[in-house]
Chains A and B, each alone.
Chain A
Amino acid sequence: MFEIETTAALWGAVVASGVYHGANPGMGWPLAVSAALMERRRLALITALGALAVGHFLAMTAILIPFSTMTALVEWQSEIRIGAGIIVILLGIYLLINRRHPRFLARVPPHRLALWSFLAATAHGAGLMLAPIYLGICAVDELDAGHRAASELMSANIAQAVLVSVTHTLAMTVTGGLAAVVVYFWLGLKFVSRSWFNLDVVWALSLILVGSIGILTAL
């Protein structure tokens, strides 16, 4: 029962973080509204959301896949989880102290949405935020994995990393897409500025929180 509940909670966290990223205008949904209005066709909204999703997905896998290869080192499992937790906490502290936005993001041309989405997610540690959650899921899985071959475990974990990234990105895209569609069809552009809250501090604190939970559960 404990395992099932833990697994459900962890997957819930994967979805919840996706909703959280997707709803934040800073992660890009207003760009989908802008694209549809600029090109004067509704389909452009979908294309833009797709590009944002691809970039976000790649940013997730870029972090999770390297971790997944490490999970094969079963005997180092808690060290890896503690290490990941520490990295995530450090990034959170860094973002708390340095509240400046990376300037290189402003050099990305507006038509390269996927690249922008990848860089924005990476710069804000969106992938890293998922790492402790992902490692938690792998740890629960391994409880009943018995003594599978390392290679088998690794490929299972890579698949798991992709699944976590897909689930998270899907939740993000559906939420962001919903916001974009509602603004485009009903609420109007006024909502772009009205729905925007400065989440910099909340974001940094959530990194610290996720990292801490990761460490505590690994001990």
Chain B
Amino acid sequence: MTVRPDPTFHASPKLAMEAPAETLAFTLMLSPDGSQPDGLAVIDVDSSSSDYGKIVHQVIMPNKGDEFHHFGWNACSSALSPLTGHAFLERRYLIIPGIRSSRIYVVDVKNPLKAKIHKIIEPEEVFAKTGYSRPHTIHCGPEGIYVSTLGGGGKDGTDGPPGIFIMDCETFDIIGRWEMDRGVQDKHYDFWWNLPRDYMVSSEWGLPPQFENGIVAEDLLSNKYGHSIHFWDLRGRKNVQTIDLGANHQMALEIRPAHDPVKEYGFCGVVVDTTNLEGAIFTWWREKDGTFNAKKTITIPPVAADPDDLPDLLKGFSAVPPLVTDIDLSLDDKYLYVACWGTGEMHQYDVSDPMKPVLAGKVEIGGIVAKTKHPNGKDFGYGPQMVEISRDGKRVYWTNSLYSTWDDQFYPGEGGAAMVKADVGANGGLTLDKNFWVEFPKGYRSHQIRLEGGDCSTDSFCYPSV
């Protein structure tokens, strides 16, 4: 507990954009075969520093086989709502779940160059207190730290539906399940919310047997992955509406609401349309009567390819699907970044009119067939994946691994870890920074990035931008 609110808490997205730029990034490193423990890399992203683009500290975990994926802060700008009584928390701990082990690490980054493990929550505790497994997305909100999970109980995580549980934001004790009435929701992936409007939106990937040992082609072709988004009464913990995006829209993943809470819309990325291999973005919004609606506003076509250049999984299609695996929205709600992990492209859409996105910029790097090199001449394994935007919207960072077993199916052979950065032009446009290239330790792959002081997929704001 502090005497003044943490200076990295901002009342509105606009104030967050005006705050000093990040000088450090935190990136998760995973060992794809579990031969080494996973870790957290602290990376210098200050372009005036002699260590620019270098890993300046690492926290290596004491266990193997965790498979790090997503992570988040113990506290963010949402603490500035008087309703919750959390104003004097510090943004100090990163909550890092292992989606394969269900173990959760709490890492103290108060002094980032000496970041260290603060607490470890063993999988047995997660299972016993929640009945869920495979913890994934982290957001800090009214009742503490919310953690989404991908699995239910039992060995293969199919004993009951997955859901969200709550952790105490000071002691990091697991409090229990969040849902009181989940309605038809039986799969889970991402979630986010609009705090003053009191609703949450969640999405669906698939159940653990559908992803842990690789993508199950039969399940995909028979549309058995998730294709619905769920809307919830946040404080009431109740599913109030489910929108089926259509069974062909397989894997509705990232949920990105407008940051400005006065706007009642957001986006959801769909990995693949099984009828035509397109990637898609849906815009969802709340009507005046409080009901929700969703419409497809972006489609990205597949690219024809010679079957000889394709992995077994795709040979029969003679095409590379874009595979929209991550999306991220700038704090001014202007640009939506869309990672096309299959084709090897990072798209930048101007979503000033959320119903009519316009492609404003594009970077080509990696890709199943294209294999575009970085401007510095180095190979970029896999394709653009987890993307994070600086608070001021001027810099965009991304890594390349999707998920250990899926990487191997779509990109046979080891692709290694990468993290790159692109600069955003004054009127849009996206250009890779030739001088930013992170060398990761051997045997690791890289996943989600968090930026010092918050970024575009961590902080929730309680006051509009004015």
Q: List residues of chain A with CB under 8 Å of any chain B CB.
A: 25-31, 33-34, 37-38, 40, 99-103, 105-111, 116, 120, 188-190, 192-193, 196-198, 200
Contact = CB atoms under 8 A, between A and B. Distances in A.
Interface stretch (B5-13, B58-66, B98-106): B5-13
B82 A38 contact: no
Contact of B196 (A29, A99, A110, A189): A110
Contact of A26 (B85, B170, B464, B466): B85
Nearest to A188: B466
Contacts of B87: 25-26, 196, 198
B80 A193 contact: yes
Interface string B81-116: 111111110000000000000000000000000000
Interface string B372-411: 0000000000000000000000000000000000000000
13 contacts: A25-B82, A25-B87, A30-B11, A101-B84, A107-B143, A110-B83, A110-B195, A110-B235, A189-B15, A190-B11, A197-B4, A198-B3, A198-B4
Closest 6 CB pairs of A and B: A101-B85, A189-B11, A106-B142, A193-B5, A37-B464, A198-B88
Contacts of A99: 1
A190 B15 contact: yes
Interface residues of B, number: 36
Query: Interface SS of chain A: helix, strand, loop or mixed?
Result: helix
A53 to B, nearest CB: 15
Contacts of B80: 30, 192-193, 196
B183 to A, nearest CB: 19
B288 to A, nearest CB: 13
A33 B463 contact: yes
B91 to A, nearest CB: 12
Contacts of A106: 83-85, 142-144, 235
Contacts, number: 100
Contacts of A27: 82
A46 B350 CA distance: 37
Interface string B403-429: 000000000000000000000000000
Contacts of B197: 110
Contacts of A190: 11, 15
Contact of A107 (B15, B82, B235): B235
Contacts of A188: 466
A23 to B, nearest CB: 13
A30 B195 contact: no
Given A106-B143, A190-B11, A34 B85 contact: no
Contact of A116 (B15, B83, B236): B83
A3 B10 CA distance: 50
Interface centre among A25, A30, A193, A197 (most CB of B within 10 A): A193
Nearest to A52: B82
Given A37-B466, A38-B196, A189-B463, A198 B2 contact: yes
